[in-house]
Structure formats: C-alpha cells, structure tokens
C-alpha cells in the first residue's frame, strides 16, 4: 500500500509540466457565478487523489489527463475579462485538486495580483506543507471543501483521510485571511446530525470563516462515470429534500453567522 505522503509526491511528479511556467488544466469557464464572489473566470485544474463517490467531474481525477496551458495565456485571458470582474470578481482555481500543483499556482496568483485581479482557491485541503502555505498566503479567499467531519465516514466517501483538510483550515485561521467552508450534503452519508454538530463545534470560534455553503448532492455527473467505464455507487441515493437541507442549515446556523444553501 502506498502511504498518503508518497502518493502526493508520486502524483505531483506526474502532474508537473516539463516547463515550470505551465499548468495542467482540465478546462476554463469564462463567466462563473457559483465559484466565489462576483463574476469569475474559473480554471479547473486536472488531477485529484480523492475519489468522492458523488464526484460530478470524474474526468478531472486522472493526473495524466487534461492539457498544459502557459501561465502567460491564463493571465492574458484573465486580463481580458477584468471589465466583467468589477469590484468582487476575479479568478478562481478549482479542480480536480489545485494543491497538487501548488508551486505553479503560487506563480499564477502572484502574476494575477500584479494585474490587480482577485484570487480564490477551491480546495479539499489535500496537502499541507510549506508550498501549500506559500500558495495560501497569496490566496485572497480559500473555499475549503469539507467532505465529512468524521474521518471514517470521510474515508468511505473519498477513499482518504480528512486530517490534512483540518490542518489546512487551522493554518488559514492562523493567517487571519478569509475562508468559506463548503459541505456537500448526501442523504445517508453526510447528513448525520451528530456529525454536523461536531463540525459546527470544531469551527465555531474560527474568525476567518465568513460563510458556510451547503451544496445539495445531485447525480448530474453519472453519465461521465458511465462514459469512463467507472461504477457510480450512489445511484440509489436521491438528492436531499427541502426538509433535509433546512435541517442541516439550521444546525450550522447555531455555529456560523452566514449559512447558504446553494
């Protein structure tokens, strides 16, 4: 069995471009409105070590997939879109898992800041090391995807531990920079009241958390699993109803000042 640390190093090596000024990308969305504040250009990077059972984009998992893009091209596209960003918008890097390419993303965010463009990182917190911290330090907003508070349930959902996710949150809190928590609510998998309360109690004193977003589970990515010849194990799980969503939101509102259901 490959240990987590070795897995990270192995997959980062596969992700790295021959040119250190290139990012391995899955796709780019020009006018995203659900990936941070304002209108945003969203860069979906390729490669992820989590194997979330409900992943809507399983085609982003393969660290050898996607294509390489020069940072020059990404920055140029962002600069062209600046008039649409206005005060709140900017560039969001999502995934896949961005932290697997943290060194090159640090360069990208530095260059975006040179152009006065806001940066958001949407991450599951897979890696915590000095390079990850360096990237977080130039990230205007961290959107941290917490898959489950309980580690055993987290492993059932993703195949891996949630330890690094909470270490990333702890580091972000220490910097005083803003963070949003995102939580996918899957009936029977991540909607257990006791664990929602545990998550709330764990994070309730974090001053960096501006918002908690509840993302209702859906099956919109099932066709991608089938196209890739992968088994989708949650076919019998229905999306949460309004009552289930409101129950989760009411629990989180006991601990956080702003809770939204997306």
pLDDT tens-digit profile of 26-55? Answer: 999 999 999 999 999 999 999 999 999 999
Domains parsed from the chain with CATH numbers? 4-261 (3.20.20.70)
- Write 77-80 long-range contacts (CB < 8 A, 24+): 77/28, 77/41, 78/41, 78/112, 78/115, 78/117, 79/115, 79/117
Question: Cα torsion at 56, 250, 146, 116 (round to 10°)?
Answer: 90
What's the pLDDT tens digit per position in 98-130? 999 999 999 999 999 999 999 999 999 999 999
Picking from 118, 67, 57, the residue whose alpha carbon sits closest to that of residue 89 is: 118
Q: How confident is the model at residue 2 (pLDDT cuts 50, 70, 90)?
A: very low
Picking from 166, 157, 116, the residue whose alpha carbon sits closest to that of residue 140 is: 116
């Amino acid at each position: 069995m490959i240990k987590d640390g070795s897995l990270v190093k192995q997959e980062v090596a596969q992700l790295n471009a021959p040119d250190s000024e290139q990012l391995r990308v899955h796709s780019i969305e020009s006018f995203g409105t659900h990936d941070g504040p304002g209108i945003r250009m969203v860069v979906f990077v390729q490669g992820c070590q989590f194997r979330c059972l409900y992943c809507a984009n399983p085609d982003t998992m393969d660290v050898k997939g996607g294509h390489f893009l020069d940072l020059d091209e990404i920055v140029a596209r962002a600069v062209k879109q600046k008039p649409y960003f206005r005060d709140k918008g900017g560039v969001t890097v999502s995934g896949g898992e961005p932290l697997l390419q943290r060194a090159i993303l640090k360069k990208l965010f530095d260059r975006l800041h040179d152009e006065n463009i806001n940066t958001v990182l949407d991450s599951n917190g897979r890696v915590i090391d000095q390079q990850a911290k360096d990237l977080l330090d130039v990230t205007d907003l961290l959107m941290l995807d917490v898959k489950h508070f309980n580690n055993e349930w987290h492993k059932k959902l993703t195949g891996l531990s949630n330890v690094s996710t909470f270490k990333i949150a702890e580091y972000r809190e220490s910097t005083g920079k803003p963070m949003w928590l995102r939580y996918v609510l899957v009936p029977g998998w991540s909607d257990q009241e006791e664990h929602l309360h545990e998550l709330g109690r764990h994070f309730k004193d974090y001053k960096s958390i501006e918002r908690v977003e509840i993302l209702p589970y859906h099956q919109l990515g099932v066709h991608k699993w089938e196209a890739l010849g992968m088994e989708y194990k949650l076919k019998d799980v229905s999306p949460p109803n309004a009552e289930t969503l409101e129950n989760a939101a009411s629990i989180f509102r006991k601990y956080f000042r702003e809770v939204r259901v997306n």
